[in-house]
Structure 1
Amino acid sequence: MFKKTNGVTPQGFDTLVGNNAHFDGSLKTSGLLRIDGVFNGDIEVDGDIVVGEDGKIVGNVKTSNIEISGLVEGNVTASNQLKISSTGKLFGDIEVSSFIVEEKGIFDGKCKMKKDVVKGMEVIKGNKAEQKAQ
């Protein structure tokens, strides 16, 4: 999901909401967005989002990938991966392709996994799979 150097997420962010920032409104952007302050409103990113340990989002989020180490209160749609770290908290419903929660991470909401094709098996509602005709 995110390229790492020595176990650290890269610092090449396209958009940053810093520790002392408090933002109210909606944001539409592309690239890598990092939230270390407070963001009240909806976010749509054609790219990835990192919510730092002190970061807080109150609103709905639509993105490719998101890594949460802080707090998100709202619904999240991630076309690829959503990861909640051990310090992360997510209160809201999610729609994702891949979902990871580290030990001590908190998720309170409903989860909908997007329909996907995996190694000749078609994943359908209810975690049932049917072998594709060959």
Structure 2
Amino acid sequence: MARHNPSAPPESVISIIAPGMQIVGDCQTEGTLRVEGSVEGSIFAGKAVVVGEAGRVIGDITTQDAVISGRVAGNLVIGSRLELQSTSVVEGEVHARRIQVEEGTLLNGSVHIGETDGSTLTHEGQSDSEEQQLPIDAGSWHRPVVAAPKR
């Protein structure tokens, strides 16, 4: 369900997973993906990913910029800027060049800020230097999430 303009470059197209829509499988776009429904699978977007307050993702997200207001159970590999809004719940490993976290965000996992050894994002959902994926237990999706303890 994307706005389609034949003359628009692919990266300017916004694809929308609407409320009530459920996608099972990986999603890939050269532009921006907005998730207001649910996705069970990895997401790769060349430009940006927006997970709305009602949005749910069980899988990894790889993109340049991301704004998360809903729930994500998976690893985030963000080439530029990640914004975690106050309603967001994230379980997984986060890699981002820059990150903004609003008060109220629930984050359970590790956070790596800055360059990722000069690597670039790939369509496989991993940075060139990232080979390890953390297993995500979908059964834990409904358990309450608490902030990770400081090390």
Which category describes the TM-score, using the shorter chain as reference length?
0.7 to 0.9
Q: Are residues 1:49 and 2:13 paired? A: no
Q: Aligned-residue CA RMSD in angstroms?
A: 1.4
Structure 1 residue ranges (4+ consecutive) displaced by more than 3 angstroms after TM superposition: none
Does the CA contact (< 8 Å) of 1:64 and 1:81 recur in 2?
A: yes
* Structure 2 partner of 1:92: 92
* Structure 1 partner of 2:16: 16
Q: Which one-letter code corresponds to 2:110 in the other structure?
A: K
* Structure 1 partner of 2:6: none
Q: In the TM superposition, what is the alpha-carbon distance from 1:13 to its structure 2 partner?
A: 5.8
* Structure 2 partner of 1:125: none
Aligned length: 105
Mapped to 1, the partners of 2:36 and 2:49 lie a distance apart of 11
Q: Which one-letter code corresponds to 1:17 in the other structure?
A: I
Q: Which one-letter code corresponds to 2:27 in the other structure?
A: L
* Structure 1 partner of 2:40: 40
Q: In the TM superposition, what is the alpha-carbon distance from 1:31 to its structure 2 partner?
A: 1.4
- Structure in which a larger fraction of residues adopt strand: 1
Q: In the TM superposition, what is the alpha-carbon distance from 1:27 to its structure 2 partner?
A: 1.1
DSSP-derived class of the 1:45 partner:
strand
DSSP-derived class of the 2:30 partner:
strand
Q: Which one-letter code corresponds to 1:43 in the other structure?
A: I
DSSP-derived class of the 1:86 partner:
coil
Q: 5+ residue gaps in structure 2?
A: 1-11, 117-151
Q: In the TM superposition, what is the alpha-carbon distance from 1:114 to its structure 2 partner?
A: 2.9
TM-score (norm 2): 0.66
- Which protein is bigger by CA-based radius of gyration? 1
Q: 5+ residue gaps in structure 1?
A: 1-11, 117-134
Which stretch shows the higher mean deviation, 95-104 or 106-115?
A: 106-115
* Structure 2 partner of 1:110: 110
Q: Which one-letter code corresponds to 1:111 in the other structure?
A: V
Does the CA contact (< 8 Å) of 1:47 and 1:64 recur in 2?
A: yes
Q: In the TM superposition, what is the alpha-carbon distance from 1:36 to its structure 2 partner?
A: 0.3
* Structure 2 partner of 1:31: 31
